[in-house]
Amino acid sequence: MAETESKSDDPAREIAERYRHRVGGVLTALRETVARFGYVSRSREHVVADVFNLSRAEVRGIVSFYHDLKTTPQPPVQVRVCQAEACQSVGARELTTRVESHLGIKLGETNDAVSLDAVYCLGLCAQAPSMMVNGRPLARADLCDLAEEIPA
Ligand code: FES
């Protein structure tokens, strides 16, 4: 079966069916698909489109709009460094440079072990700069925090 075909036994169908009649169900189903499988494959986009009676293009549009709805397998460690104003005012750019050096990748890049992305406000402005490692927010972040999480 081609990757673009919608399989009837795909576990993503059970997820989508669960949210089928809920307001915001499409996004919730896609988020749960990412939580369970790590990303939303094309075939799973098609499953969601089928269950919600949407076009594949509509579901593709939703998936492509939200950065968190990954479409490819992700590395085991995901780092995000806040680039918004409050964090910039207390050294987020310098922190980003140090994090890039520590990880050996630039902002927006991914390797087999880690991804490094920008995020625009984690709600920790009063404790800036901030970053997030595998969904765990780090306030008043510095390279030592990251080095504890990800030794070089
Ligand atoms: S601006 Fe960085 S947490 Fe709000």
Give the tens place of pLDDT for each residue, 62-92: 999 998 899 999 899 999 999 999 999 999 9
* Mean pLDDT on 47-64: 97
Q: Model's pTM, two decimal places?
A: 0.77
Question: What is the rounded CA–CA span in Å between residue 105 and residue 145?
Answer: 18
- Residue 5 above 60 pLDDT? no
Q: What residue has token string 């809920």?
A: 22
Domain boundaries, the chain: 11-65, 77-149
- Residue 140 above 50 pLDDT? yes
Q: Which residues line ligand 1 (CB under 6 A)?
A: 82, 84-87, 121-125, 128, 130
- 121 Cα: distance to centroid of ligand 1 (angstroms): 4
Mutate to test the pocket of ligand 1, among 90, 96, 117, 130 (most ligand atoms within 8 A of CB): 130
Out of 3.40.50.150, 3.60.10.10, 3.40.225.10, 3.40.30.10, the CATH code matching 77-149 is: 3.40.30.10
What confidence tens digit (pLDDT) does each residue in 141-150 have?
A: 988 877 777 7
Closest atom of ligand 1 to CA, residue 124? 3
Token pair for 48: 């969601």
CA 9, 59, 111, 97 torsion-angle sign = negative
- 117 Cα: distance to centroid of ligand 1 (angstroms): 14
Closest atom of ligand 1 to CA, residue 122? 3
* Mean pLDDT on 90-98: 95
Q: What is the pLDDT of residue 61?
A: 97
Q: What is the pLDDT of residue 75?
A: 92
What confidence tens digit (pLDDT) does each residue in 9-50 have?
A: 788 899 999 999 999 999 999 999 999 999 999 999 999 999
- 105 Cα: distance to centroid of ligand 1 (angstroms): 22
